[in-house]
Structure 1
Amino acid sequence: MSEHALERINGVSWPPPSDHAHLYAGAGLLLVELRGDIDLAAVPHIRPWLDSVAALPARLYVVDLRRTSFVDGTGLGMVLRFRERVTDADADFGLLCARRAHRLLRAHGSLDMLSPAATLDEVLARRRRKCAR
């Protein structure tokens, strides 16, 4: 499955939090694309929506930070909370981000835990290898 095979979900019963977040789905995968500044001002609007996404059934949840312009510690905390919720429900989690975001993750101490990927294909390949073990 590639990124272009995902379909944007528009007809859900709750609206996305402005243009900061979009939800895509395909074959047991939910992908949350975050955009713009994900910071102290945006997180209160995104977090409840993201919590409701975590309640949707999926085998793999992916957060895509590649279209963000800025992520602060509050935004990163929200992503970590989302990861914890989905992994506690025995689902897999993946993170997509540009190389420039690795510095923030390294400084925060979460680079190894989040193990970001550059593409969705890379996340899916990691999941296949994990399931094959």
Structure 2
Amino acid sequence: MTEGLTSSSYDLRVPLPGPYGRVYRSRTRTVVELHGEIDIAAATLIGAYLDVVTAIREHQVVVDLTHVAFFDCSGLALLCGARRRTDENDGRMWVVCDGPAVLRVFRAGGLLEAFGTLPTLEAALAAD
């Protein structure tokens, strides 16, 4: 489905299912802005969208968690898979998060350092 696409060869503006957020382009990056509660039910629905976004070759993806009220290990597993696909396709992924409860899940999973979360969307859009 995404074979042959590069991060500059398409325009993506897609609402995520239910109340879970949206996907849009900002500068040279695709932003996946998540909302609400990211639990196993939400992760199942969101996963298909992240699969498409992260399968694009040399893609730059920002996952924005600043509007997330609840985040559990299924959300963390979702991001780990997205990060792996992005890396396999020579892309980059940044995670924006400033909420103590969400950051606590990254710490508990031992992945805070690995993801190197950024506190604002602006910081992620400007990151190298």
Q: TM-score, normalised by structure 1?
A: 0.78
Which stretches in structure 2 are left out of the alignment for 5+ residues? 1-10
- Identify the residue that residue 36 of structure 1 maps to in structure 2: 36
- Identify the residue that residue 108 of structure 1 maps to in structure 2: 109
Q: Counterparts of 1:16 and 1:40 in 2: how far apart (Å)?
A: 15
SS in 2 for 1:104: helix
Q: Counterparts of 1:8 and 1:119 in 2: how far apart (Å)?
A: 22
> Does residue 1:117 correspond to 2:118, yes or no?
yes
Task: Tell me by how many angstroms 1:58 deviates.
Answer: 5.5
Q: Counterparts of 1:93 and 1:37 in 2: how far apart (Å)?
A: 21
Structure 1 residue runs of 4+, over 3 Å off? 56-59
Q: TM-score, normalised by structure 2?
A: 0.81
Identity of aligned residues (%): 32
Which stretches in structure 1 are left out of the alignment for 5+ residues? 1-6, 128-133
Moved more, 117-126 or 60-69: 117-126
> Does residue 1:94 correspond to 2:58, yes or no?
no
Q: Counterparts of 2:125 and 2:16 in 1: how far apart (Å)?
A: 25
Give the structure with the larger helix fraction: 1
Question: Residues 58 and 30 of structure 1: is their aligned pair in 2 closer, same or farther, counting only changes over 3 Å?
Answer: farther
Q: Name the Cα RMSD after superposition.
A: 2.0
Q: Counterparts of 1:45 and 1:124 in 2: how far apart (Å)?
A: 25
Q: Counterparts of 2:48 and 2:56 in 1: how far apart (Å)?
A: 13
Q: Counterparts of 2:124 and 2:65 in 1: how far apart (Å)?
A: 14
Q: Counterparts of 1:57 and 1:89 in 2: how far apart (Å)?
A: 5
Are 1:21 and 1:46, in contact at CA under 8 Å, matched by a contact in 2? no
